[in-house]
Structure 1
Amino acid sequence: MRLGYHTITWGGVVGDATGVTSVKDLFYRANGSMEAAIADIGSVGYEGIEMFDGNLADHADRPDELREMMENAKLELVSVYTGANFIYSDILPDELHRVHRAAELAKTFGAERLVVGGGARRAAGTTNDDYQRLGEALDRVTDIAESFGLEASYHPHLSTIVESPEELQKLMGLTKIGFCPDTAHLAAAGGDPAALIRQYSDRIRHVHLKDLRKEPFAFLPLGEGDLDMEDIIRAVKESGYDSWLMVELDSYDGDPRVAAEISKKFLDNVL
């Protein structure tokens, strides 16, 4: 397996303010220097990176600049992350327009995977129809990704309608999209990440790794939290998945390069 790291840790995640009034422009972004992130990730020894769609959009008119950063750091762009509400029929065309743009940018910069999160929680409460709508939208996301030669996977996430194991089970039978387990989000929502990886082993197309401390709540570098990361890695291996392991740490109180190094040392030891 090859090791990659998400640039999110450099500044955390933000969304475009224009998205409040223009859904088609609501990209995610890591709110920091991508030049610093790419250089740091490469210096620690990772081989690949994952980026948000908005950070790629920032380089759409100057692609050689981003390519040079990755080449200097000896990194390849593995995957691109995007997301949407997916359950509101009126805005779904504009959301899929943005997913199409994310896939187009991913292809431009040489990525092989599109990772998506989402499924909005309504103020009035979630309905069973919302899962049907989400599943159908994710099938369309899969088709969009495949049209660009990309493999799509769905990332369960806190604050969406797919947090808990029960909610994940509701969705998985309604869509053909692959599964991207995020170890900390699954655990924070009451799941056993290793057990869920084993349960959906045939659907895994991408993997996000981060550790979790439950009290006080914090996402942490690998090996510094409460999760049995060794069993999680064992479960991934048992599934037959033999590809990229992407560390995706939302934030870190100290130097993000140090966090990347901690997780790299842990993975080198376990693998």
Structure 2
Amino acid sequence: MQLGYHTITWGGVVGHPVGVTSIKDLFYQTNGSMETAVRDIAAAGYEGTEMFDGNLVEYADRPEELRGLLAESGVKLVSVYSGANFIFADILPEELHRINRAAELAATFGAERLVVGGGARRVAGTTDQDYALLARALDQVTDIAESFGLTASYHPHLSTMVESTHELERLMDRTRIGFCPDTAHLAAGGSDPAAVIRKYPDRIRHVHLKDFRADPFQFLPLGEGDLDFPDIIRAVQESGYDSWLMVELDTYDGDPRAAAEISKKYLDKILADSGL
């Protein structure tokens, strides 16, 4: 197992404002410094990182700057995160154009994986046809990723049409995209993360780890919430997945580097105890 950490903690996540009137430009991005994030992630002992597509767009005209930062820090860009509505026919070509750009940049900077979330909830409610539309779009995302030598995976996420175990079941048999379990989002959606991992062992292509407390609702560094990470890691191990574990924490009241160090120390102990 190799350990990585997402840059989201250094500024949270927003959508690019240009995307309000131009769907093809509605990239995710972290508003913090990627230089600080990468250096802190390296100092905390992680070997890899994940970034949002919009943060790569910022380096599109100066690629050597990001390559140099990663090389100097000894951190690999493992994965890039993007997302879309995916169920509205009129805008799907614009969204896939953006996904294509994200995949192109991911490959440019040496990433191996493209992770996507999404699937819009309609005002009138989600229909069975919406899951068919989402599945079809995710197959197209998979084709795009593969055209750039990347592995694609789908990330269930709160506020999308795939939050609960039942909703995930409605999607997974209809699409060939890989699966990226996010432990906190699965738990917040009412699932047992370890059980979901055990249900889809052959589909796992990426893993997001973060802790979660239900009352009060909060995403937390590993070991500070309610989740059973020893069992989650056992489930990952049982699946045969033996690759990057990406720790992700949306926000943190203190120093982002301190949060990264808390999770690293906790995860190192679990992996050592499990013999990994």
> Shared fold (TM-score greater than 0.5)?
yes
| TM-score when normalising by structure 2 | 0.98
Q: Which residue in the other structure is 2:264 paired with?
A: 264
Q: Secondary structure at the match of 2:241?
A: coil
Query: What's the offset of the Cα at 1:233?
Result: 0.6
Q: Which residue in the other structure is 2:174 paired with?
A: 174
Aligned equivalents of 1:253, 1:129: Cα separation in 2: 41
Q: Secondary structure at the match of 1:5?
A: strand
Unmatched tracts of structure 1, length 5 or more: none
Q: Which residue in the other structure is 2:64 paired with?
A: 64
Q: Which residue in the other structure is 2:113 paired with?
A: 113
Aligned equivalents of 1:22, 1:199: Cα separation in 2: 38
Q: Which residue in the other structure is 1:160 paired with?
A: 160
Q: Which residue in the other structure is 2:250 paired with?
A: 250
1:90-143: CA deviation from partner (whole Å, max 9, x where unpaired): 000000000000000000000000000000001111111110000000000000
Aligned equivalents of 2:20, 2:123: Cα separation in 1: 17
Q: Which residue in the other structure is 1:3 paired with?
A: 3
Structure 1 runs, 4 residues or longer, greater than 2 Å off: none
Aligned equivalents of 1:73, 1:220: Cα separation in 2: 26
Query: What's the offset of the Cα at 1:74?
Result: 0.5
Aligned equivalents of 1:20, 1:34: Cα separation in 2: 24
| TM-score when normalising by structure 1 | 0.99
Aligned equivalents of 1:160, 1:31: Cα separation in 2: 23
Q: Secondary structure at the match of 1:111?
A: coil
Q: Which residue in the other structure is 2:31 paired with?
A: 31
1:217 and 2:217 matched: yes
Query: What's the offset of the Cα at 1:267?
Result: 1.1
Query: What's the offset of the Cα at 1:25?
Result: 0.3
CA RMSD of aligned residues (A): 0.5
Q: Which residue in the other structure is 1:131 paired with?
A: 131
Aligned equivalents of 1:68, 1:225: Cα separation in 2: 36
Aligned equivalents of 1:215, 1:43: Cα separation in 2: 32
Q: Which residue in the other structure is 1:239 paired with?
A: 239
Query: What's the offset of the Cα at 1:31?
Result: 1.3
> Counterpart of 1:122 in structure 2: which amino acid?
R
Query: What's the offset of the Cα at 1:246?
Result: 0.1
Query: What's the offset of the Cα at 1:178?
Result: 0.2
Query: What's the offset of the Cα at 1:18?
Result: 1.2
Aligned equivalents of 2:91, 2:98: Cα separation in 1: 11
Q: How many residues align?
A: 271
Aligned equivalents of 1:46, 1:181: Cα separation in 2: 20
Unmatched tracts of structure 2, length 5 or more: 272-276
Identity %: 75
